[in-house]
Amino acid sequence: MPKAAPETSVKSRATTAPSLSDDERAALDRAIGDLQRGARTWAQLTLDQRARLLDSLHATVSAVAEEWADVAATSKQLEPGHPLRGEEWLSGPYGTLTAFDAYRSTLRTLARGTSPLAGVKTDAAPGGRVRAHVFPLSAVDGLLLSGYTGEIWFEPGVTADEARRTAGLAQLTPTHSGGVGLVLGAGNVTSIPVLDVMYELLAHNRVAILKVNPTQDALVPVFERALAPLIEPGFLRIVRGGGDVGAYLTGHPGIAHVHITGASATFDAIVWGPQSGPGAGASTRRRRENRPQLKKPITAELGGVSPIIVVPGRWSDADLRFQAEHIATMRLQNSGHNCIAGQVVLIGAEWPQREAFLAALRAAYEAAPRRPVWYPHSDARLEAAASGYPDAAWCADGTRAIVDIAPGDDPTALETTEYFAPVLGVLSLPGNGQEFLDAAVAHANDKLAGTLGANLLIDPETQAALGDGFERAIAELRYGTVSINSWTAFGFLTATLTWGGFPGATLQNVESGIGVVHNALLLDRVERSVTRGPFRPFPRSLDPRALAASKGRSFSVLPKPPWFVSSRTGTAVSEGFTRFRMNGDYAKLVGTLVQAFRA
* pLDDT of residue 14 exceeding 70: no
Residues 6+ apart with CB under 8 A from 594: none
Instruction: Write the pLDDT tens digit of every residue in 124-182.
Output: 999 999 999 999 999 999 999 999 999 999 999 999 999 999 999 999 999 999 999 99
* pLDDT of residue 277 exceeding 90: no
Beta bridge partners of 563: none
Quote the CA–CA distance of 115 and 501 in Å, as a whole number.
Answer: 26
Alpha-carbon distances, residue 101 vs 139, 172, 300 (angstroms): 15, 19, 24
Q: Terminal CA-to-CA distance of the chain, rounded, Å?
A: 56
pLDDT tier at 18, thresholds 50, 70, 90:
low
pLDDT tier at 308, thresholds 50, 70, 90:
very high
Which pLDDT score is estimated for 400? 97
Quote the CA–CA distance of 105 and 96 in Å, as a whole number.
Answer: 14
Give which of 383, 384, 403 is closest to 393, Cα–Cα: 403
Which pLDDT score is estimated for 279? 81
* Order of strands, sheet of 180-184, starting from the edge strand that comes earlier in the sequence: 236-239, 207-211, 180-184, 257-261, 298-301, 513-514
Quote the CA–CA distance of 431 and 305 in Å, as a whole number.
Answer: 23
Class of domain 306-505+520-550: alpha beta
Which pLDDT score is estimated for 218? 97
Q: What's at 224, amino acid-wise? A: E
Percent of the chain residues topping a pLDDT of 70: 97
Which pLDDT score is estimated for 552? 83
> What is the overall mean pLDDT for the chain?
95
* pLDDT of residue 6 exceeding 60: no
* pLDDT of residue 222 exceeding 90: yes
Percent of the chain residues topping a pLDDT of 90: 91
Q: Where are the domains of the chain?
A: 306-505+520-550
Q: What's at 362, amino acid-wise? A: R
Instruction: Write the pLDDT tens digit of every residue in 534-576.
Output: 999 999 999 888 888 888 888 899 999 999 999 999 999 999 9
- Output the CA angle 516-125-107, nearest 5 degrees: 45
Quote the CA–CA distance of 381 and 481 in Å, as a whole number.
Answer: 26
Instruction: Write the pLDDT tens digit of every residue in 349-397.
Output: 999 999 999 999 999 999 999 999 999 999 999 999 999 999 999 999 9
Quote the CA–CA distance of 131 and 497 in Å, as a whole number.
Answer: 12
* pLDDT of residue 318 exceeding 90: yes
Give which of 238, 258, 234 is closest to 181, Cα–Cα: 258
Instruction: Write the pLDDT tens digit of every residue in 462-516.
Output: 999 999 999 999 999 999 999 999 999 999 999 999 999 999 999 999 999 999 9
Residues 6+ apart with CB under 8 A from 437: 309, 311, 466, 469, 470, 473
Alpha-carbon distances, residue 395 vs 343, 345, 423 (angstroms): 16, 17, 10
Q: How much is the average pLDDT of 259-274?
A: 95
* pLDDT of residue 16 exceeding 70: no
Quote the CA–CA distance of 31 and 27 in Å, as a whole number.
Answer: 6
DSSP 8-state code for residue 116: T
* pLDDT of residue 597 exceeding 70: yes
Q: Name the more confident of 42 and 282.
A: 42
* pLDDT of residue 10 exceeding 70: no
What is the b/e burial string over 19-31, where b = at least 16 CB atoms within 10 angstroms of the residue's CB?
Answer: ebeeebbeebbeb
3-state secondary structure of 403: strand
Quote the CA–CA distance of 364 and 324 in Å, as a whole number.
Answer: 6
* pLDDT of residue 531 exceeding 60: yes
* pLDDT of residue 11 exceeding 50: no
Which pLDDT score is estimated for 142? 94
CB distance 227 to 60 below 8 Å: yes
3-state secondary structure of 374: coil
Which pLDDT score is estimated for 12? 34
